[in-house]
Amino acid sequence: MPKMCLEALKSKMSERDCEKLNAIANPKVQKFITESCELCNPERIFICSDSPEDIVYVRQQAVSRGEEKPLAISGHTYHFDGIEDQGRDREVTKYLVPKDDLLSKTLKQIEREEGLTEVKGLLKGAMHGRTMIVRFLSLGPANSVFSIPCVQCTDSWYVAHSEDLLYRSAYDMFTQKTEQSELFCILHSAGKMNEAMVSVEAEKKCIYIDHTKDTIYSVNTQYAGNTVGLKKLALRLTIRKADREGWLAEHMFLMGVHGPNSRKTYFAGAFPSACGKTSTAMLSGEIILGDDIAYFRSIDGECRAVNAEAGIFGIIQNINPNDDPVIHKVLDTPGEVIFSNILVKDGKPYWLGMDEKVPKEGLNFSGEWHEGKTDKKGAKIPHAHKNARYAVALRALENVDPELDNPKGVKLSGIMYGGRDAKSYVPVQESFNWEHGIIAYGAALETETTFATIGKEGIAEINLMSIQDFVSISLGKYIQNNLEFGKKCKKSPIVFGVNYFLRDKEGKFLNGVKDKHVWVKWMELRVNKDVQAIEGPTGRIPEYEDLKILFKEVLGKDYKKQDYIDQFTIRVPENLAKLERVEKFHKENVAGAPEILFDILNQQRQRLLRAKKQFGDYISPDSLKKS
C-alpha cells in the first residue's frame, strides 16, 4: 500500500492524522475507514494512535462535547444514556444472515441484504458535522496467540473514551504487521442527539452483526453494551472464530484464588448479568484477572486462559464499602472512572443500594429528577437506574493480577456456572467429570431475567452457559465444542455449579451476600485435593466440618449445622422438574443437540429417583454422608 493518505479521506484529516493512518498498511483497514466515511459523512476524522497526547485528547473531547461531565473527585466523570437506552437490547440486535442460510432459531436474525439496506440507511449521513474517531484495539493480550485485532469507527467521544479504559490499545500492533487476516470492524453512530448529548431516536435503534464479514453496525444508541463493539457484540464474532480454530470464547470472569502455602489457583465463572459474576470476580483478598469475557486454548495439553478485555464495565447497584471494598475504593478515590445512569447532586454520584442517604432531587438519566417523578406511563423513576454502570481499567484495582497481559495466559484449574435458581440446586457442588459439569451445570444453567437486559424482569429461562444470547453458531455445535475441548486437555478444569439465590419455602434467601467467598474457597481446596466431598445425585457437595472451618477463617463467623442442612438438602421434586424444563428447552430450541446431553441428563434423573426411593423427597446431606 503506498504511504500516502487516501484521497477520499484527505480533506477530512489533518496532516498528522494522515500520517498515522498511512502507517497502517492493511488494505482492509483502509477500506473499512474509507467506506465508513463515505456512508456517514463526518466533518472530520481523528485517528487515535494511543499516544499519551491522543488518549488525553479523547478524554478531553468527551467532556468538552458534553457526552461526559466531571464529578467532584478528580478523574471521575458521568454519562447519561437515553431513558429508553438503558441496557443491552435483545430485540434490535440481529444477525445478518445470507439467503438460504439460518442460525439457531433462538437467535434474532434478518436477511443480510435487507438488514444492510436498513442499517446503512440509518447510518447514511449520521456523522454530518461531527468527528469520526478511529480506535485500534486488541481483544486478548496484544501480539499473542490470543490476540484479535479490532478497529472501531464512532462519532461518540464517550464510546471512544470507554474503549480506552476497557480494552488494550493496539495501534502499534497494526503498524507492525502488514496484514491482519482476521480483523473485526465496528461502525457506530449515536444518531440524532439532544442538547444533553443523549441519543433521542431509540425507536430507530439498530444493532446488526454481519458475521460473514466480521463487521458490526450500531446506530441510535449510546449504552456501552450496544455501542462498544468489542464487548458482547464482538463476542458473537469471536465464537465463530473459536469454532473454526478449535478453542473457546466464553462469557466468563477469571480470578486467582489464594490457598494454603501461598498457592494461587485460577478459576473462570459464567453467570448471567446481575447474578453475582463481578462480585465473585472481585472478592476481597483474592486476585482479579477479568470480569466478563475469557478465551481458552489448549496449549501443550494445558488449559490456558486470558481476559479478552482490560477493564470493567460493571453494574454499580448495591456496591458498598462493606460488601465490595475493592471496587468501592476505586469508586471513591481520584482516578479515571466513568459512571453512567446514576444520580448526580453537587458533583457526587448516587446509586441504588449504596448505603448512603440519597438526595431528594438531582440530575439523572431522565433529566432533572425529584423524588416521586414518573415516566410517560406513570411509573416512578428511581434516582438511579438498576443497570447503572461504572467503567474502569483493571489496572486501577489494587488486587489486579500481574498476569493480566501475559501473552501465554494462565493455567485454568476450575470453572463455575451460576444463575438465579430459587428452588433446586444447592449453593455449591462439584461435577462428576467434565462432561457432567458442562451439561448439568452449563447447558442446564437456569436463571431469571434481570434489569441488565431490556424487557420483563423475573422471568425464568434457560440461559445456556450464560452465553446463549451471543452464540452465532448452532447451540448444539457450541455444546459439542465445549465437550470436545475437555478432551484436548491432559487435565481439564474441574467444573462446579454454584447458586447464590436458593430460597426457603417462605421465599427467604438461604445464602448470605458474603457466603460466596466460602464456596469459592471450598472449590479451591477441592481442585487441589485438600478436602473430601459427599457424593450426591446432582454432584459432590461439601462436608459440614470443612465449611464450618472456612466460615470461621474467611468470614469470622460460626456456621450452624441447621444452616448447612437447609442449604445442602437435595430437593428431589424440584430437581426432577428442572430436568424436565432443561430437556424440553434443548429438544425444542437446540438444533443438533448432542445425544450425550440427553444421556447425562437422564443419568442425573435416575440418580435422583434412586435417592428418592432410599431417602424420600428431601435428602439431608447427613443422610448422603452415611450412605
Is 50 exceeded by the pLDDT of residue 72?
A: yes
Mean pLDDT of 275-287: 89
* CATH number where 196 lies: 3.40.449.10
* CATH number where 556 lies: 3.90.228.20
Is 70 exceeded by the pLDDT of residue 2?
A: no
The answer to whether residue 164 is domain-embedded is yes
The answer to whether residue 82 is domain-embedded is no
| Look-up of cell digits 445456556 | 464
pLDDT digits (tens, 9 = 90+) for 335-353: 999 999 999 999 999 999 9
State residue 386's pLDDT score: 93
pTM of this prediction exceeds 0.85? yes
What is the total count of domains within the chain? 3
| Residue where a domain stops, chosen among 203, 229, 245 | 245
pLDDT band for position 476 (50/70/90)? Answer: very high
| Longest CA–CA separation in the chain, Å | 80
* CATH number where 376 lies: 2.170.8.10
Is 60 exceeded by the pLDDT of residue 589?
A: yes
Q: Are 271 and 418 in contact (CB under 8 A)?
A: yes
Mean pLDDT of 441-466: 74
Q: Are 286 and 256 in contact (CB under 8 A)?
A: yes
275 is catalytic: yes
State residue 339's pLDDT score: 98
Say yes or no: 431 and 345 in one domain. Answer: no
Q: How far apart are CA 325 and CA 542, in angstroms?
A: 28
Say yes or no: 380 and 412 in one domain. Answer: no
pLDDT band for position 1 (50/70/90)? Answer: very low
Say yes or no: 297 and 336 in one domain. Answer: no
Reading the block at residue 35, the C-alpha cell is: 467506506
State residue 88's pLDDT score: 84
Domain coverage including residue 361: 313-396
State residue 3's pLDDT score: 46
The answer to whether residue 84 is domain-embedded is no
State residue 18's pLDDT score: 93
Mean pLDDT of 247-264: 97
pLDDT digits (tens, 9 = 90+) for 15-29: 999 999 999 988 899
Say yes or no: 305 and 317 in one domain. Answer: no
- What DSSP element (H or E) covers 567? helix 561-568
The answer to whether residue 269 is domain-embedded is yes
The answer to whether residue 36 is domain-embedded is yes
Q: Of 18, 48, 153, 275, which is the active-site residue?
A: 275
CA 192 to chain centre: 28
Of the ranges 37-46, 359-368, 426-435, 583-592, which one carries the lowest mean pLDDT score? 583-592
State residue 178's pLDDT score: 59
pLDDT > 90 fraction of the chain, expressed in percent and rounded: 84
Say yes or no: 296 and 360 in one domain. Answer: no
Say yes or no: 284 and 339 in one domain. Answer: no
Is 60 exceeded by the pLDDT of residue 451?
A: no
State residue 274's pLDDT score: 72
Say yes or no: 320 and 363 in one domain. Answer: yes
| Look-up of cell digits 467532556 | 63
Reading the block at residue 403, the C-alpha cell is: 498476569
Say yes or no: 217 and 156 in one domain. Answer: yes
pLDDT band for position 441 (50/70/90)? Answer: very high
Is 80 exceeded by the pLDDT of residue 180?
A: no
Q: What integer best gives the mean pLDDT of the chain?
A: 93
Say yes or no: 480 and 417 in one domain. Answer: yes
Q: Are 253 and 277 in contact (CB under 8 A)?
A: yes
Say yes or no: 479 and 552 in one domain. Answer: yes
| Residue where a domain stops, chosen among 396, 415, 438 | 396
Say yes or no: 496 and 540 in one domain. Answer: yes
Say yes or no: 220 and 238 in one domain. Answer: yes
Of the ranges 61-65, 84-88, 154-158, 213-217, which one carries the lowest mean pLDDT score? 84-88
| Residue where a domain stops, chosen among 396, 426, 445 | 396
Greater confidence (5 vs 104) lies with: 104
Is 60 exceeded by the pLDDT of residue 150?
A: yes
Q: How far apart are CA 533 and CA 526, in angstroms?
A: 8
